[in-house]
Structure formats: structure tokens, C-alpha cells
């Protein structure tokens, strides 16, 4: 994220009165090989998305208690999920995705990571038909909601998530918010195009166009009542987060693992992590696991 250029776009975005229509993704299930490969590579520990995955994993960890069953909606290649599982080795995780090709990649990711507390399931997040009521202690979803076809599907997905979540369970949902300007969408998609595959840049832009508005997301989250708090990046809702209250204090092992995962990031990824954390902190969301490193 280029600092001065990003700040310019955010200020213009903030002042804009334009309203962009939502443009749903052409392929609602990610079964395109090149697209999936680009996304998987971007999410590996040396990929351009590594800093965001660590940030989400740190935010999720206080919601997960030892022995919990956790459902990840739209787990994709499991790069994000594996970090959450590493930080919470005494919990059990189920990664759900509608794409068989993505789940094959997830199996490879889990095998490479040597993580034993993840299972995978094929299905859509709209109904969660294969899961019983109140069968999970925590439900998470990172950057998957924009793949839903319309607001009605989003509402149905959140009702299904509420159905399978136990009373008092943890919830963490993050996705893009719909921006007001095509120029801002293009900036974020193309800002680091020299270090990302063309397929990833194209998919990034399409994802931003498919984002739901803050109002649409907020309406769908009403099913959770007052149990969740909304957050967004300062100045513009590039990222929108809905998070329930912490259910535990991260223990020494989680803090050490977080420290180690941060140290594995490249110098540039560490810089992006700190900038990303400051941007969300300005929107009211503090890091629940802190370190002198970040």
C-alpha cells in the first residue's frame, strides 16, 4: 500500500458523493485454476497477502477457547485458516468451501503445514445444511462474503451462521466494503501489480466491485443482535469487520506463536502489517495480541 497515494485516494473517497452499483463476480465459485493458483500463492507466508492473514489470525484468536469447534466460511486454500489453527492448537477447525479445486489446494496447504486440527467440508455458506443447530463455538469468515450472488444470499448466509453458532459463541467476519469510486478500486487492485500475478490483480479488482456496501452488510448482521461490533478502516470502508467480544485472554503459547509468525514475514511484509494495523486502529479496532515488534 503506497502511503501518500493511498491517503490521496482515501480523502477523495471520503469526500465523494458518488454511489457505485454492485457488480457480482462472474464466477461465484472459484474453480478457475489460474485464478485459484494466484490466490493461493498470494496467501503463502512469502506472498503479498501474508501480513493481512497474520492480522486476521491475531484478531480471531481471543474468540477461540481450547476445545472449541470453529467453522470457517469460504476457507479457500486454507492459508488463513492454518495460521488460526497454529495459534489455537487445542481447538478443532472445519474449513468449508464450495470449490472442490480450492479444497484440493487446502489439503496441500494443511499437509505442508503439518497441522492436525483442521478438517475440510464441501458446501455453500448460504444454508450450511450439513451442520446441526448450535454445533459450533465460533464462526469466522475472511474475505469470502463478496462471492455471494446478492444481498438476499448474504442475509440467508448470516441466518445460517447464526443457526449453527452456539449461544454466546464467537464471531469474526471481514470483507471488503464497497467503495464509491472506480479509481479507488483500481488503485487498490493495481497498487502492487508489479509483485502479483495478472490473474490476481484482475480478481482483486472484481472482488472490490462485488463488495457489499456497509449498509448491506450491517442489515445482514442484524440477525446477531447486539452481540457483534462493526469496525471499518478509517476514512473509507476498504475493509469492514464484524467481531464479537473476546472469550478468553490469549495465553503465552499463542503470544509466542504470534511473535514467531511475525518474525517470519519479510521486512516489507512487516511494514505493511504495521500500516494495516494502524489503519484499522484508527477505525477503532485494536490488536488483541501486542508485541514490541509491532
In a domain, 29, yes or no: yes
Report the alpha-carbon distance of residue 277 to residue 187 in Å, rounded. 20
- At residue 235, the 3 state secondary structure works out as coil
Give the pLDDT score at 52: 95
Contacts of 127 (CB under 8 A, 6+ apart): 156, 160
**Distance of CA 6 to CAs 75, 99, 158, 166, 236, Å?**
29, 33, 32, 40, 11
* Dihedral over alpha carbons 271, 273, 277, 278 (to 10 degrees): 10
In a domain, 97, yes or no: yes
Report the alpha-carbon distance of residue 108 to residue 46 in Å, rounded. 16
In a domain, 141, yes or no: yes
In a domain, 208, yes or no: yes
Give the pLDDT score at 197: 82
Q: Among 139, 141, 210, which Cα is nearest to 177's?
A: 210
Give the pLDDT score at 41: 55
Looking at the DSSP bridge assignments, the partners of residue 230 are 242
- CA angle at residue 31 from 202 to 83, to 5 degrees? 80
Q: Fill in the DSSP letter of residue 242.
A: E
Give the pLDDT score at 29: 61
Counted domains in the chain = 1
Q: Which three cell numbers stand for residue 75?
A: 476457507
In a domain, 66, yes or no: yes
Report the alpha-carbon distance of residue 213 to residue 176 in Å, rounded. 9
Report the alpha-carbon distance of residue 136 to residue 154 in Å, rounded. 20
In a domain, 292, yes or no: no
* Mean pLDDT by groups of 10 residues along the chain of 294 residues: 85 95 80 56 70 96 98 96 96 97 94 95 97 98 97 98 98 98 96 84 95 98 95 97 97 94 93 95 94 72
Give the pLDDT score at 38: 52
- Whichever domain contains 114, its CATH number is 3.40.50.150
In a domain, 270, yes or no: yes
Given a contact cutoff of 8 angstroms between Cβ atoms, the answer to whether 176 and 211 are in contact is yes
Q: Among 233, 217, 239, which Cα is nearest to 282's?
A: 233
In a domain, 286, yes or no: no
Report the alpha-carbon distance of residue 139 to residue 91 in Å, rounded. 13
Give the pLDDT score at 195: 80
**DSSP percent split of the chain into helix, strand, coil, nearest 5:** 50, 15, 35
Query: In terms of residue numbers, what domain contains 78?
Result: 3-281
Report the alpha-carbon distance of residue 20 to residue 37 in Å, rounded. 30
Contacts of 256 (CB under 8 A, 6+ apart): none
> Number of C-alpha atoms within 13 angstroms, CB side, residue 195?
10
Q: What is the DSSP string of 32-82?
A: -HHHHHHHHHHHSTTSTTHHHHHHHHHHHGGG--TT-EEEEET-TTSHHHH
Amino acid at each position: 500500500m503506497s502511503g501518500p497515494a493511498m491517503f490521496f485516494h482515501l480523502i477523495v473517497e471520503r469526500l465523494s458523493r458518488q454511489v457505485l452499483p454492485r457488480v457480482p463476480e462472474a464466477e461465484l465459485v472459484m474453480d478457475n485454476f489460474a485464478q485459484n493458483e494466484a490466490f493461493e500463492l498470494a496467501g503463502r507466508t512469502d506472498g503479498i497477502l501474508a501480513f493481512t492473514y497474520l492480522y486476521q489470525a491475531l484478531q480471531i484468536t481471543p474468540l477461540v477457547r481450547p476445545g472449541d469447534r470453529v467453522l470457517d466460511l469460504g476457507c479457500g486454500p486454507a492459508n488463513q485458516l492454518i495460521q488460526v489453527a497454529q495459534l489455537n492448537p487445542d481447538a478443532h477447525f472445519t474449513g468449508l468451501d464450495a470449490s472442490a479445486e480450492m479444497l484440493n489446494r487446502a489439503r496441500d496447504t494443511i499437509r505442508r503445514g503439518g497441522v492436525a486440527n483442521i478438517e475440510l467440508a464441501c458446501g455453500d455458506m448460504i444454508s450450511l445444511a450439513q451442520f446441526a443447530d448450535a454445533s459450533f463455538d465460533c464462526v469466522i469468515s475472511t474475505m469470502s462474503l463478496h462471492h455471494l450472488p446478492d444481498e438476499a444470499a448474504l442475509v440467508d448466509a448470516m441466518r445460517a451462521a447464526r443457526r449453527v453458532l452456539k449461544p454466546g459463541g464467537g464471531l469474526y467476519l471481514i470483507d471488503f466494503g464497497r467503495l464509491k469510486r472506480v479509481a479507488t478500486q483500481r488503485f487498490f487492485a493495481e497498487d502492487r501489480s508489479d509483485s502479483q500475478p495478472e490473474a490476481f490483480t484482475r480478481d482483486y479488482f472484481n472482488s472490490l466491485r462485488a463488495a457489499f456496501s456497509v449498509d448491506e452488510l450491517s442489515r445482514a448482521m442484524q440477525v446477531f443482535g447486539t452481540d457483534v461490533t462493526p469496525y471499518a478502516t478509517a476514512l473509507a470502508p476498504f475493509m469492514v469487520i464484524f467481531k464479537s467480544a473476546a472469550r478468553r485472554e490469549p495465553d503465552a503459547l499463542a503470544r509466542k506463536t504470534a511473535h514467531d509468525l511475525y518474525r517470519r514475514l519479510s521486512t516489507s511484509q512487516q511494514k505493511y502489517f504495521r500500516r494495516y494495523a494502524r489503519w484499522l486502529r484508527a477505525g477503532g479496532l485494536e490488536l488483541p495480541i501486542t508485541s514490541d515488534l509491532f
